[in-house]
Amino acid sequence: MVTKDSVCSIQEQCEMVSIHRSGFYYVPQGISVLNLEFMRLIDAYFLEHPHSGAITLCAYLYLTEGYAVNVKRVRRLMRLMGLMAIYPNKKLSIGNKLHKIYPYLLRGLKIERINQVWQTDITYIPMKKGFMFMMAIIDVKSRYILHWSVSNTMDAEWCTSVLKETLALHGKPEICNTDQGSQFTSHEFQQVLKEHTIQISMDGKGRALDNIYIERFWHSLKYEHVYLQPAEDGLTLYKGIKWYINFYNQERRHHSLNYHTPAESYLHLAA
| Sign (positive or negative) of CA dihedral 217, 223, 224, 226 | positive
- Going by pLDDT thresholds of 50, 70 and 90, the confidence category of residue 97 is low
Residue 115 pLDDT exceeds 50: yes
Beta bridge mates, 135: 122, 149
* Percentage of the residues of the chain whose pLDDT score is greater than 90: 69
- Same domain for 203 and 129: yes
Q: What is the pLDDT of residue 89?
A: 42
* Percentage of the residues of the chain whose pLDDT score is greater than 70: 82
Average pLDDT, integer, range 233-256? 95
- Same domain for 241 and 180: yes
Per the structure, the count of domains in the chain is: 2
120-167 pLDDT, tens digit each? 999 999 999 899 999 999 999 999 999 999 999 899 999 999 999 999
- Same domain for 257 and 147: yes
- Same domain for 249 and 137: yes
Q: Is 88 contained in some domain?
A: no
Please tell me the pTM assigned to this model: 0.82
Q: Is 100 contained in some domain?
A: no
Average pLDDT, integer, range 10-35? 65
Q: What is the pLDDT of residue 21?
A: 60
The domain of 58 spans 33-81
Q: Domain boundary residue among 55, 81, 107?
A: 81
Q: What is the pLDDT of residue 15?
A: 65
- Going by pLDDT thresholds of 50, 70 and 90, the confidence category of residue 9 is confident
C-alpha distances (whole Å) from 173 to each of 26, 120, 123, 146, 241 are: 31, 12, 22, 11, 24
Q: Encode the chain in three state secondary structure.
A: CCCHHHCCCHHHHHHHCCCCHHHHCCCCCCCCHHHHHHHHHHHHHHHHCCCCCHHHHHHHHHHCCCCCCCHHHHHHHHHHHCCCCCCCCCCCCCCCCCCCCCCCCCCCCCCCCCCCEEEEEEEEEEECCEEEEEEEEEECCCCEEEEEEEECCCCHHHHHHHHHHHHHHHCCCCEEEECCCHHHHCHHHHHHHHHCCCEEEECCCCCCCCCHHHHHHHHHHHHHHHCCCCCCCHHHHHHHHHHHHHHHHHCCCEHHHCCECHHHHHHHHHC
- Same domain for 123 and 72: no
Q: What is the pLDDT of residue 159?
A: 96
What rounded mean pLDDT belongs to the chain? 86
Q: What is the pLDDT of residue 7?
A: 66
- Same domain for 130 and 74: no
- Same domain for 133 and 76: no
Q: What is the pLDDT of residue 90?
A: 41
Residue 149 sits in a domain whose CATH number is 3.30.420.10
- Same domain for 219 and 134: yes
- Same domain for 45 and 178: no
Q: Domain boundary residue among 81, 108, 137?
A: 81
Q: What is the pLDDT of residue 268?
A: 80
Specify which of 2-6, 18-22, 85-89, 109-113 reaches the highest per-range mean pLDDT: 109-113
